[in-house]
Amino acid sequence: MQGRQLLVKIRPPLNMLNPIVILQSIVSGLLMGGIFALFGVGFSLTWGVMKVINIAHAAFGIMASYIAYWGLTLYGIDPVLSLCLSLPLLFVTGLLIHRFLIQPITRSRDVVVASMILTFGLAIVLENIMLFAWSPDERLITTAYSSQVIFIGDIIIKVSNLIGFILSLMGILAIYLFLYRTCTGKAVRATWQDPEGAALQGINLRRVSMITFGIAIASAGAGGVAMAYMYSFNPPVHNLWLIFLFLVVIVGGVGSVIGSAIAGLMIGLITGLSGAFFPMQWVNVLLFGLLMGILLIKPEGLFKK
Amino acid sequence: MLRTEGLNVFYDELQALIEVSIEVHAEDLLVIIGSNGAGKTTLLRTISGLLRPREGKIFFQGEAIEEEPTDRICMRGIVQVPEGRKLFPQMTVRENLEMGAYLSTARGTLADRFQGVFQIFSVLEERLKQFAGTLSGGEQQMLAIGRALMAGPRLLMLDEPTLGLSPKVASEIYAILAKLHQGGMSLLLVSQDVLQALRIASRAYVIENGRVIMENSGQELLRNPKVKEAYLGI
Ligand SMILES: Nc1ncnc2c1ncn2[C@@H]1O[C@H](COP(=O)(O)OP(=O)(O)OP(=O)(O)O)[C@@H](O)[C@H]1O
Ligand SMILES: [Mg+2]
């Protein structure tokens, strides 16, 4: 039911031939796609670098949504500012979870499956902690500027959505700069391209994995706050986002930042556009039909060389 | 400089190395030959800490290293050019070389290291922005060696560096290895190219079925009738 709301929101009236409607749905779709992209980049990072499919990825994002929500309602702290607290917190949480939960299972024969089972459990634990702390009620972040809109021609953009989108893009840019401009970031890329080759250069794989995990969890936090600007949320909603994460990674290719980013925007765009023309059920049929098609034709993702 | 004592290495129940004891002296160019499946790669992987010996010791400059993780061993200056090169295919030539210098901060600046590598492999300088995965086989091998040299190794280990290369490029690589050796570097070279490898070797071991069966100078082994028959086909 949460999914319906999430998608219905961006669905303008059924007026197919009106170019404004089409443009409006393109814009709404892209705004949503930004969040898919940011969530997807972090998800694909742990998957690619250490073969850990983190089922709890989106749950960490919702966690940050709640921290932002609390900050705002209890202390009047702007959600963007609350990221200054939640990002380092989630980063450290990521390091600890890696040290005490992920690291021990990397010795298992099938890290992918072991990690999925482990993080599935973790997701359930997180969800229940959140249910306990914040109840299953849906929350919405409403700031002073939430109701403001800007017009570009006839197209309406909510300021809060725009902030969420910019936040997503900045998150992706930060990850990109880390991976391509810093020495540690290059070591992360080296590790996912050839772990043994990386070890032979003196790269400490354990340390690289730990940092990667911390960054992925922190980026989920940024995604969670960006999301909270656009949609209402409650603890179980991370399950819905998770499905979209798989979609993003499979379309974009595992471990590809640019691929995931483009895939996220693309999926948002398709969702937005098709939402303008088809009933909601068909949007999902279309999206996941696309997913299966890609798995059959190009299982390594659209953007992998 | 490097000494192994009675290494026993297993893959599950299959024993790949049996009581292997070898020694690399400072400024040696030590060659290890042996047919397919003899255990040469296993030996180098064990020295680099990618495999753990069930029994035996490995000493480098007097210290036991058989328990250490790969990055520690690399930090000591034991650098390997592995079988199959293990480059980072979707990183550029420059980035691959940078990764080679990942640990080294002390001995010389990064720019000096790049210059050192370019003096040996000038092709790499022309291709800095190209992705490693798109280089030709010979260029990839040069990059793999160049990457190892970026670390400023005390002991450079190479596992079949001329596999799949044309005779001309292979000869070039042997000439470069000989030159590095003359420059005072210690090398441990695994090769199937017995004739060329033994020619530049200061000493050599023959490994068969996981055991060291012969040890001598390169010249002596080249004259050895058994080696001639088994590896040179004469
Ligand atoms: N990962 C592994 N699991 C099981 N057995 C292995 C593994 N790697 C190597 N072996 C076995 O160990 C033995 C030694 O292999 P190794 O790769 O060290 O040989 P090599 O001398 O390097 O051969 P080549 O010249 O073909 O490279 C072989 O019998 C091989 O089948
Ligand atoms: Mg081998």
Quick: pLDDT tens for B21-50: 999 999 999 999 998 999 999 999 999 999
Inform me whether the pLDDT recorded for A284 exceeds 90: no
Q: Ligand 1 pocket: which residues have CB below 6 Å?
A: B 11, 14, 16, 34, 36-42, 83, 192
Ligand nearest to the CA of B38: 1
Neighbours of B232 (CB within 10 A): 12
Dihedral, B11, B16, B19, B25 alpha carbons, nearest 10: -110
What's the residue count for chain B? Answer: 234
* H and E: helices and strands count for chain A: 13, 2
Inform me whether the pLDDT recorded for A2 exceeds 50: no
Instruction: Give the DSSP H or E segment for B7.
Output: strand B2-11
The partner residue sitting opposite A202, judged by closest CB among B71, B82, B98, is B71
CA B160 – ligand 2 centroid, Å: 7
Q: Where in chain B is the domain with CATH 3.40.50.300?
A: 1-77+155-234
- Chain A residue numbers with beta carbons less than 8 Å from the beta carbon of B74 are 199-202
| Interfacial B residues in 55-114 facing A (CB < 8 Å) | 69-71, 74-75, 79-80, 82, 85-91, 95, 98-100, 102-103
Confidence of residue A18 (pLDDT cuts 50, 70, 90): confident
Ligand nearest to the CA of B42: 1
Q: Is ipTM strictly over 0.85? A: yes
**Rg for chain B, CA atoms, rounded:** 17
Cα–Cα distance for residue pair A302/A263, rounded to 1 Å: 9
Cα–Cα distance for residue pair A114/B90, rounded to 1 Å: 28
Interface test with B, best of A49, A103, A180, A201 (most B CBs within 10 A): A201
Confidence of residue A257 (pLDDT cuts 50, 70, 90): confident
Out of A15-29, A61-75, A257-271, B126-140, which region has the weakest mean confidence (pLDDT)? A15-29
Looking at residue A1, its pLDDT comes to 40
Looking at residue B107, its pLDDT comes to 53
Kindly state the average pLDDT of the residues B128-137: 95
* A23-297 maps to CATH 1.10.10: no
Read off the pTM. 0.89
Looking at residue A304, its pLDDT comes to 64
Phi and psi at residue B126, to the nearest 5°: -75, -15
By 3-state DSSP, what share of chain B in percent is helix, strand and coil, each rounded to 5?
40, 25, 35
Report CA-CA distances (Å) from A92 to A98, A167, A215, A270.
Answer: 10, 21, 9, 36
For all residues of chain A together, what is the average pLDDT? 88
Inform me whether the pLDDT recorded for A8 exceeds 60: no
Residue that is written with structure tokens 């354990």 in the block: A206
* Domains of chain A by residue range: 23-297
Cα–Cα distance for residue pair B128/A88, rounded to 1 Å: 36
Cα–Cα distance for residue pair B4/B21, rounded to 1 Å: 5
* First-to-last C-alpha distance (Å) of chain A: 38
Looking at residue A222, its pLDDT comes to 95
- DSSP tag of B212: E
Q: Could you tell me where the DSSP H helices lie in B151-217?
A: 167-182, 194-200
- Name the token pair of A73: 């309602």
- DSSP tag of B37: T
Nearest of B95, B93, B104, B96 to residue B71 by alpha carbon? B104
Give, as residue ranges, everything with CB less than 5 Å from ion ligand 2. Answer: B 41, 83
pLDDT for A98-124, tens place per residue? 999 999 998 888 889 999 999 999 999
What is the full DSSP assignment across A213-227? Answer: HHHHHHHHHHHHHHH
Where b means 16+ CB within 10 Å and e means fewer, B207-225 reads beebebebebebeebbebe
Which one is predicted more confidently, A182 or A145? A182
Report CA-CA distances (Å) from A40 to A75, A91, A242, A263.
Answer: 31, 17, 9, 9
Instruction: Give the DSSP H or E segment for A286.
Output: helix A280-297
State how beta strands B14-20 and A155-158 pair: unpaired
Cα–Cα distance for residue pair A286/A295, rounded to 1 Å: 14
Neighbours of B125 (CB within 10 A): 15
| Residues contacting residue A26 through CB under 8 Å, at least 6 positions apart | A269, A272, A273
Minimum CA distance residue for ligand 1 atom 1: B11
Dihedral, B133, B135, B138, B144 alpha carbons, nearest 10: -50
What is the full DSSP assignment across A126-193? Answer: HHHHHHHHH-S--B----TTTT-EEEETTEEEEHHHHHHHHHHHHHHHHHHHHHHHSHHHHHHHHHHH
| B184 Rama sector, left if φ>0, alpha if ψ -120 to 50, beta otherwise | left
Minimal Cα distance from B131: which residue of A?
Answer: A305
- Chain A residue numbers with beta carbons less than 8 Å from the beta carbon of B47 are none
- Name the token pair of A240: 């819905």
Report CA-CA distances (Å) from B151 to B104, B108, B194, B230.
Answer: 6, 10, 28, 36
Residue that is written with structure tokens 């997180």 in the block: A126
Strand partners, B63: B60
Ligand nearest to the CA of B36: 1
pLDDT for B102-130, tens place per residue? 987 645 688 889 999 999 999 999 999 99
* B1-77+155-234 maps to CATH 3.40.50.300: yes
Query: What is the best residue among B14, B20, B159 to mutate for testing ligand 1's pocket, by most ligand atoms within 8 Å of CB?
Result: B14
| Residues contacting residue B51 through CB under 8 Å, at least 6 positions apart | B9, B42, B45
Phi and psi at residue B5, to the nearest 5°: -125, 115
| Residues contacting residue B33 through CB under 8 Å, at least 6 positions apart | B40, B190, B191, B192, B194, B197, B198, B204, B205, B206, B207, B221, B227, B231
Tell me whether residues A186 and B91 touch, CB distance under 8 A.
yes
- Per DSSP, which regions of chain A are E strands? 149-152, 155-158
Minimum CA distance residue for ligand 1 atom 5: B11
Looking at residue A253, its pLDDT comes to 84
Looking at residue A256, its pLDDT comes to 81
Which one is predicted more confidently, A31 or A277? A31
Kindly state the average pLDDT of the residues A213-234: 94
